[in-house]
Structure formats: C-alpha cells, structure tokens
Amino acid sequence: MDLLNTLVDKGLRRELPTREEALAVLATSDDDLLDVVAAAGKVRRKWFGRRVKLNYLVNLKSGLCPEDCSYCSQRLGSKAEILKYTWLKPEDASKAAAAGVAGGAKRVCLVASGRGPTDRDVDRVSKTIEAIKEQNEGVEVCACLGLLSAGQADRLREAGADAYNHNLNTSEGTYGEITTTHTYQDRVDTVQQAQAAGLSACSGLIAGMGESDEDLVDVVFSLRELDPDSVPVNFLIPFEGTPLAKEWNLTPQRALRILAMVRFVCPDVEVRLAGGREVHLRTLQPLALHLANSIFLGDYLTSEGQAGKADLEMIADAGFEVEGAGTTTLPEHRADAAAGGCGSHAGASGCGSHEEAGCGSHGSAGCGPCGSGVSEPEAATVPEARTDLVSVRRRGAGTDLAPNA
C-alpha cells in the first residue's frame, strides 16, 4: 500500500505526515489492519527496538475533584462508586510504589485528583518523591497533580521529579464539550511550564469519547507541536455514574488504528498504552505492543487492570522484553536534547522531529500520495457495550489490600 510505504519512510526519517495521511490511517479497513500494524511496527522498532517500558500508577488522593471532566470517575458530581480518600502519607505512597518497582516498573506515576496543587500539596508530594527515591534507587518519578501555578514545576524538579504529566485529552475545538471548569489552553500552559522547568513532559489523549477522526488527528498534531517526550494513549473507560457512561465507540481494530496513527505522527516518542486497553483491545492487546513501547503495569487510578503477571507474560509471549532500569528509554537524539536542557523545546517542530520546517512539517502541502491505495472504510458498526470489563479498583493505594503489580 503506497500510503503505508510513505508513512514508514517518513517515520524512519522523523518527518511529520500530512493530516490527510493521518486521517487515511484511521480510515483503513479491518482487512488492512495487520498491514497497518506491521508498517507502524517498523517505525516503533527503529526507535525503540523490542523494549517495553513499564510504568506504575499510585493514586495519592482519590475522588472529591471540583472539576467537571465528563470522562472522569473522580469528577464533580460523579456517581461512580470508586474509592475516595484524601492524601496518602509519604511512607504509604512509597510502599505502594515499591510494589510496582518490584514488579518491573521503571517509572512511578504519582497522581492526585483536583484542579491543581496548593503550595502545601507540592510540599507533601515533594516528601513523597524523596521517600520513593530513597527506597528505590534509579526509579523515575512522574507527577500528575493538575494545573500548575508559577514556580511549582521548579519545586517538583528540585524534589527529584523527573517528569510531569498533563494530558490534552481531546482537540481544542471540542474541549469545551468535555470540560467547562478549565480550558484547553490551561492544559497547554501547564505542559509548557513543566518543560520550562526541565521536567520531561508527558501529555496524551483519550480516545472513544464520541470524537471524530478529525478531532483525533487534531489533538495528536497538537501534541506533536507541543513536543512531549511521552504520549499516553487512553481509551475511555465508560464508568457508570459519569456523563460518558454510554459511550462505547471503540472496537479493538479501531483502537489499533488510533495507536498506529499516533506512532506515525510521533515516531520517536514514548507512546504509552494507557487506561482502557483491557476494556477495548481485549485479546488484541499483544498487537498493540508493535505500536506502543510503554504500558502501565497492573491497576489504574480508579479501575482494575489485568494482573501484573499477565502483563509480563503478554510481553514475553509477543516477543518483546521489559526495558531495564539501566536503559535509556528515548532515542539518543531526544535523550541528548533533554540532557542539554532543552526543556522548553522552543523551535522544535513537533513530537521528536527537532528539525526546522521541511517535508512533513505543518506547512507541508502533502509530500507523497495521500491515501493512495486505501480501501473505502467499512460501514461503522456499533460496538458491544462490555460493562463486565469495567471493574472499580478495590485494592492497592488507599486500601488494606495488596496492590496488583
């Protein structure tokens, strides 16, 4: 297929596809799915080999959020029957993190619900970061605390944080339909604050909220321009008790096409298979490892994932290997840029390109045959609602039960 050959060539050169090419990936048929996965897999292996980075979530504070994000079980007015608790003590958070590290996680992600941290919250999280680093030598720590105020990113960096996560989630054009208590620009500003402080930026999306193909391409191109080091791809978990509980829009095949499109647009970035993979990819999860080079181990913030042991078996059975603590995740050119203080990524033209405008830049009018050889998309079918796969987390952080790691 001419389209896929073009996209592989661009991905190996770190060139940006055109919007038309990205849309064409989403429009491919299920008959072409394995060809799409194989093509994107070549790009993934070029920059990340067969390594899979494991990440582990610790929910520091669950529920009770004043924001109205429609997709979130912790939102204002949520009726989802999730765990609700206030801040974990640093020693309890460190104990939870240690379980993930023991299971093979290289990065621990510390998450807290809320609009954004107070200065006291930053102090609290800083102590937690210090406790985790003291107990687990070499572990990466990513904080995800919401919208940042001036100086807070610097304080987190000084405390030992390596990265900061704040997702764009959806396109700027539809953001107001998902959330009204803050803006899309607020999210962009927070990611840029983290970058300016020298933190590795982590920012991604949620697919399956009823968005169009154009919305998906918009947010991924916006991410490429923002240039985070890692891009988590979440698939909506339709929690009962949230406004999007009835949004079952994804098939395993569509989820794979979305991941492939992200890989083509962000070829040399850590693409992380995140929340909802068990719900929407189901038995096709191993195929996603050919597209994403990073996953979460075990459970998520408020929902349960598959057993950590099953994650490790899946990786081995698919012919991949867990990335070791002594291995640098990012390709050399990105790792060198980060080490050189390129925190703001000013002047970069997007996710991993770090080059001036050229073939494949935003100004490109279409290098190569856009959509050539792509089959007409098949008539959309309504996916089956698999509510049996949505399981509220009842173990790990905030409970007396052992975590899943």
For 228-268, give the DSSP string: -SEEEEEE----TTSTTTT-----HHHHHHHHHHHHHHSTT
Is 142 annotated as a binding-site member? yes
Residue with tokens 């402080």: 197
Given 107, 272, 334, 393, which residue is catalytic? 272
Evaluated on CA atoms 361, 347, 232, 302, the torsion sign reads negative
351 marked as part of a ligand binding site: no
Dihedral of the alpha carbons of 293, 297, 302, 304, in degrees to the nearest 10: 110
Other Cβ atoms closer than 10 A to 137 = 8
* Residue 119: count of CB within 10 angstroms of its CB: 11
User: How many helices and strands (H and E) does the chain possess?
Assistant: 14, 10
Tokens of 133: 């680093």
14, 19, 44, 72: the active-site residue: 72
Give yes or no: 266 in active site.
no
Is 142 one of the catalytic residues?
Answer: yes
- Among the options 109, 144, 367, 370, which is catalytic? 109
8 A C-beta contact, residue 264 and residue 7: yes
Distance separating alpha carbons of residues 78 and 40, to the nearest angstrom: 38
Is 65 annotated as contributing to ligand binding? Answer: yes
Residue among 19, 65, 157, 370 flagged as catalytic: 65
Provide the CA 79 distance to its chain's centre, in angstroms.
Answer: 25
Cβ atoms of 146 and 114 within 8 Å: the answer is: yes
Catalytic-residue membership of 367: no
Task: Kindly name the residue from 142, 144, 367, 370 that is annotated as catalytic.
Answer: 142
304 closest CA partner among 375, 176, 403, 190: 403
Classify 45 as helix, strand or coil: helix
> What token pair was written down for 28?
């491919």
Question: Which residues 6+ apart lie within 8 Å of 94 measured at CB?
Answer: 128, 131, 132, 134, 135
- Catalytic annotation on 65? yes
Nearest of 392, 397, 405 to residue 309 by alpha carbon: 405
- The DSSP call for residue 291 is T
Instruction: List, in sequence order, every beta strand (DSSP E) within 259-320.
Output: 270-273, 294-296
Is-catalytic flag, 342?
no
Does the annotation list 367 as a binding residue? no
Known binding site for [4Fe-4S] cluster: residues?
A: 65, 69, 72
Which of the residues are catalytic?
65, 69, 72, 109, 142, 202, 272
Known binding site for [2Fe-2S] cluster: residues?
A: 109, 142, 202, 272
Known binding site: residues?
A: 65, 69, 72, 109, 142, 202, 272
